[in-house]
Structure 1
Amino acid sequence: MSEWLHATDRHGRFVKTEERVALLAEIRAHARAHGDAHLAVPVVHIILLTSNGQIRMVQRGNRPENPFMWDKAVGGHVVTEDRSLGRAAFDANAIKEMGEEVGIENVAIADDALHYHRLLQAEDHDPTTRAIIRMVDHDPWQGSFCRSREGEPWVKRHNVCVYIGVYDGAFVFADGEAINHDLITRADLMDDLLASPWKYADGARIFMQRYYHLLR
């Protein structure tokens, strides 16, 4: 079954809707020809930590973009009929992607930072059975380098909502997006990104640069 994605401009305004494969091929071809993408695709990025502050990294599967590289725990395109791309559309897709990619079915999204800390400190909270996340950023024109099995890298633009959260339970890989996972401290991840950058999707560099202070 075909999946249809919205495309937006650098300000996050709706431009058009197209079938996923065709839209991504158009963006990739334009970026390789002109050095940058002309459209962004709405996505969610979810960075998960353990209760003791280790970052949960996953190894991507044999995917068209960044195959077998290490990256944030969860990410995916926002599939919605809502052309306004309001917060609810991103939240709904964040929950969906967590279930599909790493098997987390019990997810709570906090309203704000205070609500997030209250949920984490609640007496009945069990981090092995429920993930708690909060949105920390929205960037309508975030760029990253994508690599593939064939061809030159290209710049892909994301209209992205970024979430950070805590979950101690097991990951279950069901859809092939990820095939392995590991735990790493933020200091060790920073060192390894500098020593072996080819192991990581460019998104790992971006979240370490932008959200390092939140990864604890």
Structure 2
Amino acid sequence: MMTIELNDISYAIDNRTIFQHVNGRLDGGCMIALTGPSGCGKTSLLNIASLLCKPSAGDVVVDGAGTSHWNDRKRRLFWKNKASFIYQDYGLIDDETVLYNLTFKRGFLQSKKTKMPRRLSDLLAETGMLNRVNETAAVLSGGEKQRIAIVRALWKRSAYIFADEPTASLDAANRKMVVDLLKSAVRKGACVVVSTHDLELANVCDQVIDLSQ
């Protein structure tokens, strides 16, 4: 089974301890919430679990392999082959089209013989964004940008999805859509890890790691 294990993880910045001795198991087919007050290190722990950041102590074990001695190449392979990210600031390039932000390919559908992949068109239709693919990301609202970020993460079919405050600043309708999409990924076997202040989101997760304790 796909699993990320957090083994006695501690993290400090400039000799200031952010958190220490955190343990947890992040399994495929589960949604895990990282919770706690502002400044407690939710995003830092998310970045450590996703190998974007190294802990001050402890080890992250991915699918049975310790990562403390992984070089940059091994980390990049993990991100490429197994991970997707949903950033709090959406991670979109504002002056590029929605389609480019999803595919990172210019002229993706310029040929009349080229059709949009069925899964991508289905996700865009489900999020109400199918007719916006040729617009630049700059004209989208915050909720629309979040939907595109979610589509990009889900289309990749990653084993692990890491989401930083995915429901922050969303209205009720967009919030429900984001939660439903993340849960659909879980039902298909993905491990979804979210850092969040949203107690309602935390309550629908299968596991909560509370950094305030």
TM range (shorter): under 0.3
| Higher relative contact order, chain-length normalized (CA < 8 Å, sep 6+) | 2
Instruction: Return the TM-score normalized by structure 2.
Output: 0.24
Q: Which has the higher strand share?
A: 1
Instruction: Return the TM-score normalized by structure 1.
Output: 0.24
Q: Which has the higher helix share?
A: 2
